[in-house]
Chains A and B, each alone.
Chain A
Amino acid sequence: MKSRIALIVYILFILLPIYWLLNMSFKTNQEILGAITFWPQNFTFENYQKILTDPSWYKGYINSMIYVSLNMVISLTVALPAAYAFSRYKFVGDKHLFFWLLSNKMAPPAVFVLPFFQLYSSVGLFDTHIAVALAHCLFNIPLAVWILEGFMSSVPKEIDETAYIDGYSFPRFFAKIFIPLIGSGIGVTAFFLFMFSWIELLLARTLTATEAQPIQVIMTRTVGASGIDWGVLAAAGVLTIIPGIFVIYFVRNHIAKGFALGRT
């Protein structure tokens, strides 16, 4: 019973700041600045309406979604075969390569801000979705290889051998047999790829101007000459949380089944 209470207290701690944001997003600015109210007195959808009807606002969400999805597709496509190679084969320089990959996850984005800006400007990719997606590959590909390698190592090698004896070619074995076997691993990886790309600000901000600007950056516009538009800021914040809720909901069983699966 005591443990139940502790858990509930912790969940309340998590929810309290989010509740406050949600509460604020349904209030008018007068009410927000007027007095502390625990529930909106003049319930309004105005703040949401402003965001969802103005293309310069909602395009930010679309932009974010586009580069996050692109990044997930690119990262998973290249990381799957690489993780297989690391989990099954010994080859020249494998250990060094693995650590070098991981070292890119360790590189602070702040280090790469200026060179990335120059690199992507010089190849004409500045302010495109693909530029942000590629930049996020810097830390997402190493992460994907790392997580997937763990999951793949837990699949017995006999399965590969049996499949080859049965006449499967490598691509057919990989797509038909192997990928379904590590389904939950791919789910967990996708969760982390989404997470790290969706929440990143520094690179996304530096590599975009108008066409591909993510919502996090557009949000800073609420600071205008007449002060901060708190209601719209809160509504925009709430809307950035919603895609995350869907992602967690879809992978919840996989996460429970075991991020740890390959590692224990």
Chain B
Amino acid sequence: MNKIENNKAWFLVLPVFILVAFSAIIPLMTVVNYSVQDVFDTNTRYFVGTEWFKAILNDAALQSALMKQFMFSFTTLSIEIPLGIGIALLMPKRGMAASLCLVLIALPLLIPLNVVGTIWQIFTRSDIGLMGWSLREMGVAYNISRNPVDAWATIILMDVWHWTPLIALLCYSGLRSIPEAYYQAARIDRASRWAIFRYIQLPKLTNVLIIGILLRFMDSFMIYAEPFVLTGGGPGSSTTFLSQALTTMAIGQFDVGPAAAFSIIYFLIILAVSWVFYTTIMNMQKEK
């Protein structure tokens, strides 16, 4: 669409700008301020320059949290996206069945994050939980508070349970926007099921998938409440992801300087990855 040059449009954007600036720029300035100072109390503070940044970047615990974070985001996304597309393709197209399917599949999305953790904590306990109990009865040694592999598997299963519906929902609505005529044309050409998916459905899904991947990447990279409730970051620190490491540092130990430096690095990583995604979207839209 050709847009009109009009700087008065700024007035329409102004309320958004003011509100978001209030809740983003002021706090961010505080964070930057803390990251270069050593704060003893409200009156005693020293300028320390980049010292905290150096300390954080060399901190072994945080490096491992970062590695775990990337591994977690990568694993969950590579399961959720194909699975979500698959589910969307299977869902009925109209009628009562379609509505029912939508409501049931969207259910996990609207459960508060720590309740999701609680549900899975209960579900996987070997004494009172269905899954933990069944596995024990089958003779599987399964213990999320002792075995890191079990803890990881459970957290990934929980995340797949929780967020695959988002991808499925987005793809479902993308599929609904394909006119019936496309399918008729494909049938006349005797296109295979795979060819229909590859050349008709997938291209229509690209845009919603980009939204989905971007949202999922950002949210999985900030995951906090679910593992915190389910495993408490353990056993040991095997499931302590970045947000939990940061919150412990900022609120638990009140190390505001290092925590602030950590925050900035954390934010910059997400910003960098998302920028790559964003420019890709923009370039794809230009090509059209």
A4 CB → nearest B CB, Å: 8
A19 to B228, CA, bound (A): 23
Q: Which residues of B contact A82 (CB under 8 A)?
A: 12-13, 15-16
Complex contact B243–A137 (CB within 8 A): no
B247 with A110: CB separation less than 8 A: yes
**CB-based contact A14/B16 at 8 Å:** no
Interface assignment of B17: CB less than 8 Å from any CB of chain A: yes
Cross-chain contact B118 with A219 (CB below 8 angstroms): yes
A263→B208 contact, CB < 8 A:
yes
Q: Which residues of B contact A99 (CB under 8 A)?
A: 275, 278
Question: B107 is contacted by which of A111, A245, A260 (Cβ under 8 Å)?
Answer: A245
Identify which of residues 1-30 in chain A touch chain B, using a CB-to-CB cut-off of 8 Å.
3-4, 6-7, 10-11, 13-18, 20-21, 24
- B164-209 interface (Cβ within 8 A of A): 165, 169-170, 172-174, 176-177, 204, 207-208
Tally inter-chain residue pairs, CB-CB below 8 A: 293
> What is the CA–CA distance of A244 and B108 in the complex, to the nearest angstrom?
9
Contact B122 A234 (CB under 8 A): yes
Q: Which A-chain residue is minimally distant from B282 (CB atoms)?
A: A95
Question: In this assembly, does A114 line the interface, its C-beta being within 8 Å of a C-beta of chain B?
Answer: yes
Quick one: closest B residue to A202, CB to CB? B224
Within 8 Å by CB of B19, from A6, A74, A85, A215, lies: A74
Which of B15, B87, B105, B111: most chain A CB closer than 10 A?
A: B111
For window 17-35 of chain B, which residues contact chain A by CB distance below 8 Å?
A: 17, 19-20, 22-24, 26-28, 30-31
User: Is B101 at the interface (CB under 8 A from chain A)?
Assistant: yes
Q: Give the distance to chain A from B200, nearest Cβ to Cβ, in Å.
A: 12
For A107, list chain B residues within 8 Å (CB). Answer: 24, 267, 270
B122 lies within 8 A of A24 (CB): yes
> Could you say which of B1, B129, B169, B207 contacts A255, with CB atoms under 8 Å apart?
B169
**Given A13-B161, A201-B113, A142 contacting B207 (CB threshold 8 A):** no
* A88 at the binding interface (Cβ < 8 Å): yes
Contact A14:B222 (CB < 8 A) given known A111-B246, A114-B250, A237-B118: no
Residues 23-65 of A at the B interface (beta carbon under 8 Å): 24, 32-33, 36
Q: Does B120 contact A (CB under 8 A)?
A: yes
Tell whether A79 is near chain B: CB-to-CB under 8 Å. yes
Q: How far is the CA of A87 from the CA of B115 in the complex (A)?
A: 38
Q: Is B99 located at the chain interface by the 8 A CB criterion?
A: yes
Is there an interface contact between B243 and A110, defined as CB atoms closer than 8 Å?
Answer: yes
A199 located at the interface, meaning its Cβ lies under 8 Å from any Cβ of chain B in the complex: yes
Q: Are B256 and A199 in contact (CB under 8 A)?
A: no
Q: What is the chain A residue whose CB lies nearest that of B259?
A: A114
Minimum CB–CB distance for A29 against chain B, Å: 10
**Chain B residues with CB under 8 A of A110:** 222, 224, 242-244, 246-247, 250, 263, 266
Q: Which residues of B contact A153 (CB under 8 A)?
A: 1
Rounded to whole angstroms, the CA-CA distance of A261 and B174 in the bound complex is 7
Interface residue? B104 (CB, 8 A): yes
Q: Tell whether A78 pairs with B15 under 8 Å between CB atoms, given A88-B9, A110-B224.
A: yes
Contacts of A17 in B (CB 8 A): 119-120, 123, 130-131, 161
A21 touches B119 (CB 8 A): yes
| B224 contacts across to A, CB distance below 8 A | 109-110, 201-202
Map CB proximity to B onto A94-119 as digits: 1 under 8 Å, 0 otherwise: 10010101111111111111111011
- Are the CB atoms of A78 and B110 closer together than 8 Å? no
- Shortest beta-carbon distance from B228 to chain A in Å: 9
Within 8 A of A (CB), among B58-91: 86-87, 89-91
19 other A-B residue contacts (CB within 8 Å) besides A7-B87, A256-B99, A263-B174: A11-B101, A11-B104, A13-B161, A15-B104, A86-B13, A88-B4, A92-B10, A101-B20, A109-B224, A110-B246, A114-B260, A135-B23, A141-B19, A201-B113, A219-B115, A237-B118, A240-B112, A245-B103, A248-B102
Please give the residue numbers on chain A whose beta carbons come within 8 Å of chain B beta carbons, in ascending order. Answer: 3-4, 6-7, 10-11, 13-18, 20-21, 24, 32-33, 36, 74, 77-79, 81-82, 84-92, 94, 97, 99, 101-116, 118-119, 134-135, 137-138, 141-142, 145, 153, 157, 194-195, 198-202, 206, 215-216, 219-220, 230, 233-234, 237, 240-241, 243-245, 247-249, 252-253, 255-261, 263-264
Sample 19 A-B pairs with CB under 8 A, ordered by A number.
A6-B90, A21-B123, A24-B128, A33-B127, A90-B3, A90-B4, A90-B5, A105-B218, A109-B222, A142-B20, A201-B114, A219-B115, A237-B111, A240-B112, A240-B115, A243-B110, A248-B107, A252-B99, A256-B102
Closest 4 CB pairs of A and B: A244-B110, A115-B27, A89-B9, A85-B12
Residues of B within 8 A of A (CB): 1-10, 12-13, 15-17, 19-20, 22-24, 26-28, 30-31, 86-87, 89-91, 98-99, 101-116, 118-120, 122-123, 127-131, 133, 161, 165, 169-170, 172-174, 176-177, 204, 207-208, 211, 218, 221-222, 224-225, 242-244, 246-247, 250-251, 256, 259-260, 263, 266-267, 270-271, 274-275, 278
